[in-house]
Amino acid sequence: MAYTPSNSRLLKNTFLLYFRMALMMCINLYTSRIVLLTLGVEDYGIFNVVGGVIVMFSFLNESMTASTQRFLSFELGAGNKERLHEVFITSLHIHILISLIVIVLGETVGLWFVLEKMVIPPERMVAAQWCYQLSIFIAVLTVLNYPYQSAIITHERMSSFAYIAILDAVLKLLLVYLLLVFDYDRLILYAILYAAEKFIIRMVYNIYCIRNFEECRYKWLFHKHTFKEMASFAGWSMWGNLAYVCYTEGLNMLLNLFFGPIVNAARGVAVQAQGAIFQVANNFQMAMNPQITKTYASGQLKETHNLIYRSSRLTFCLMLTICLPLIAETPIVLDIWLKEVPEESVTFLRILLVITMIQMFYAPLITAVAATGKIKKYETTVSALMLTIIPIAYVVLRMGGLPQSVFIVYLCIVILAYATILYIVLPMIHLKLADYLINTVKPCGIMFVLSLIIPVAMKMVLPAGLLPSLTIIALTVISTSILSLTIGLDEEMRKLIFGRLKKWTSR
C-alpha cells in the first residue's frame, strides 16, 4: 500500500517539535549562561575544546545514523514489517561496534592529542582529563541512543520528543542547581553531572521504543545482505560526516592552536547560540524528512518534489524570521543573554547564522538524495569540497588572519557547496533546475530582499541603545512573519495554517 503524506499530521508534528525546541532552547540558553558564569571563560573554553576531540570521532556514528533513518523510513514507507525489524537490529549491532571504535580511538589518538598538543594551563590538566574521559562515556551513550531515536522519527511520534524534552529540561535545571550548591572543582562536577543527565535520557529513549515499537524489541539475528547494504550506504555517508567534523571541530582546534582557550570560549558561545537556532529548522525538517523518504519509496516523485519545495520554503521563512533580527542586533542579544560576553563572539555568531540559513535551506535536497540510496557521487564530491575548509583556514591563519577569518572561509565554501549540490542532486531525483528555482529560490529571494528594508532603515534612523535595539528586533520579526505568510508559504499550507488558527481561536 502506497504511503500517503498528511499535511495535517505534518502540521501537528511540527508544532509538537517546536514546543520541544522552544523549551530546550530556553533551558539551554539559560543553563549555558549560568555554566559560563560559574566555570569562568577559561574553564568553559577547556570543556568546549576537550569535548570537541571526541566529537571529531562522531563521524563514524553520524554516517550510520543517516543510514538507519533512511532505511527505516524506506521500509516503513514500503510497508515491509519484517524487513523493518531486520534494519533496526542490524543498525543496533553496528552502533555497538561503532561505540567500541570510539572508545579505542578516544583512549589512544584522542588522549595523545589532549595531553601533548592542546593548549591547556598545567593547573587545569587534571580537570581537563576528567572532562575528556566523561566525554568518551557521553559519546558512547549518544551512539547507542541513535537507533532508538531514529525509530521515533521514522514513526513520526513527535509527541514523545516533547515529553522527553520536558524531562531533559528538568534535569538540566537540576544540573545547574547542583553545580551552584556543591563546593567542589566546578569543571569536574559539571562534567560528572552532564554525563549523568545524558545517561538518564538515554534510558528513557530505550524504554519508550521497546514498549511502543515492535521492531525495537531485541532478538538476535544477522542478515549479511542487510548489513552490507546499510554499511555501504553508511560508508559513503561517512565522508560527509568526516568533512562536517573537520570543518567544525577542526576549526575549533585551529583556533585553540593559534589563539588559546579564550577564543575557544568565544566560539563555544557562538556555537551554543547557533545550535539553538539550528534546532528551529531541524525540528521542522525532522517532521518533514520521513515523508520525503516514504513518498520516494512508494514511487510518488511529484509528491516528493512538492515536499522538497515546501520544506525548503518553510525552513527559510522560519530561519529568516529568527536569524535576521539576531544578526541585526547580535551585541545587545548577547549582552542580555550573558553577563560576560567573550571577545569575538558577536562576529562569530553573525557569520555562523548566515551559514546555518544556507545549509538548512538546501537540507531537503540531501534528504531526497539519501532516499534514493545512491549517494556515492554526492558524498565524494561535496565532502571533498567541504574538507578544503581546514587547509585554507590554516593558510589564512598562518598569514596572520584574524580569528573570524576561518568562518569567512567556511561561508565561502558553503556557498560553493550549494551550487554543487544543485548540479549533482537534482538530476538524481528527476527534478528540473527551473522548477526548483521557481518554487524555492525565487520566492525566498524576493522575501529576503524585502525583509532587509525594515532593519536597515531602522538602524539608520534610530540611535544606539537597549530600547531602539528591542524595537528593531520586534519590527523585524513582525515584518518577516508577514512576508512569510504572504510570499514564503504556498497556498495550501497558508490555508491549512489559517484554518487551524481559526479553529483553535474559536475553541
- In this prediction, residue 500 carries a pLDDT of 64
Whole-angstrom distance, CA of residue 363 vs CA of residue 60: 20
Q: Which of 28, 506, 416 is nearest to 36 (CA)?
A: 28
Whole-angstrom distance, CA of residue 281 vs CA of residue 356: 9
Q: Tell me if 504 is assigned to some domain.
A: no
Better-scored residue on pLDDT, 496 or 150: 150
Asked if 153 and 69 touch (Cβ cutoff 8 Å), the reply is yes
| Residues contacting residue 219 through CB under 8 Å, at least 6 positions apart | 85, 89
Burial string for 52-68 (b: 16+ CB within 10 Å, else e) reads: bbbbbbbbbbbbbbbbb
Q: Tell me if 200 is assigned to some domain.
A: yes
Q: Tell me if 471 is assigned to some domain.
A: yes
Q: Tell me if 1 is assigned to some domain.
A: no
Q: Tell me if 202 is assigned to some domain.
A: yes
pLDDT tens digits for range 62-77: 556 666 767 777 777 6
pLDDT tens digits for range 282-311: 766 776 777 787 788 777 888 889 889 988
- In this prediction, residue 449 carries a pLDDT of 92
The boundaries of the domain holding residue 495 are: 7-499
**pLDDT cut 90: percent of the chain above it:** 12
pLDDT tens digits for range 442-461: 999 999 999 999 988 988 88
Q: Could you give the 3-state DSSP secondary structure of residue 349? A: helix
Q: Find the angle CA(256)-CA(260)-CA(262) to the nearest 5 degrees.
A: 110
Q: Tell me if 406 is assigned to some domain.
A: yes
Q: Tell me if 505 is assigned to some domain.
A: no
Domain count within the chain: 1
Q: Tell me if 209 is assigned to some domain.
A: yes
